[in-house]
Structure 1
């Protein structure tokens, strides 16, 4: 019997109360639901370090839940390297002691309006030049869940959208390649069938040009937020990259919105038999 049941016994025929999920359990469910969130999981050091760099630079507050969500410590990431991460101690010595005894800690923070979550497998207290701190081994993965502020359109297969990418080559001249756009929104785009390797956090100044059929041409700066590789059933591999627009001018955003509305109207017309 739980403590609640001991204090207030239920009637003999009454159904047993269903305990609510704790915050820690909800976080764990998200982190472990790989089928639903696998595309947002960052598994390599380079990917995780890109997020950690932002957390350190922005002094992002991290909430660590443990003991099935009954306890928590507010902290910030101090630094990170191949061996692990350093975090500030919390303000409560008692909570710090409990955190050191916990075997799993569920960490959550916000970075540029994006929810970031990861699991730590225990903490140690260490001494640094700035004083005592928590040390933890690197997490196995980091979940980065983008809060979508824009409607994302999967581009039509019959009328593929092309992005012309321009970037500096080794000889100093600019090189241009083309890639298909798998999806697009006012916040960014997904590139598929990439003919080149793009690294996470690569910033292409005015290196993106998109010809939106019957709407106009969008040009802007993009930054690479994720990279991956997929393979067809025949074994053909394809490189993908998720890119974010950087301070896209208002007129360019309007063009993208017009294109999305146009494609959606055409789709609905076809579905209703009017197209």
Structure 2
């Protein structure tokens, strides 16, 4: 996300103070992850909105678990932020950053942005799933392979869908085909049942020179509970990744 992109998205700009406050509050209440770009993609902090105070004109953000990154955020004075709300991408700039306390814990205070960008586009932030302990998706096999199902390891997951690795080339690659009665087994969260639609496929050559197939699948009519479970799992992956990056894991 750069200045040119923001200029291109001017048509999606929200300037209503009441609407901006309402959107920020919803992002906070739903515990949506906010990516804070300190120096572009090279320096990113994942945070959440803890509180919004329209009377004071400020909001409170969770601080980075990395002390040095926290110092970089404060010295920058303003940072770009991006998040999602009900699968709609939200972009804004957090300015006037200063240290504060929230419920006794250190946090960051920022000015409520004068404008924000709300993109009516289905773009989703993907998180790669662990390789050492793969997440499994139980998917139905094509009729020619019988009426059974098989387990496939996830490559990545987003609020919009998943990508699975099909080592034996068993799954259909017909774009737009629906796969009903699928089950994704999310560790520590539980299983999520959903219909998946084939969106793309890519044959890949692995390090051992064996070929494998990556298939992108979109959620179809995902339940509210399923949406929440996927969001919780992505949040869990983000926290674990950030802890590793900070050397705490």
TM-score by length of 1: 0.43
TM-score by length of 2: 0.47
Structure of larger gyration radius = 1
Higher RCO by CA contacts (8 Å cutoff, separation 6 or greater): 2
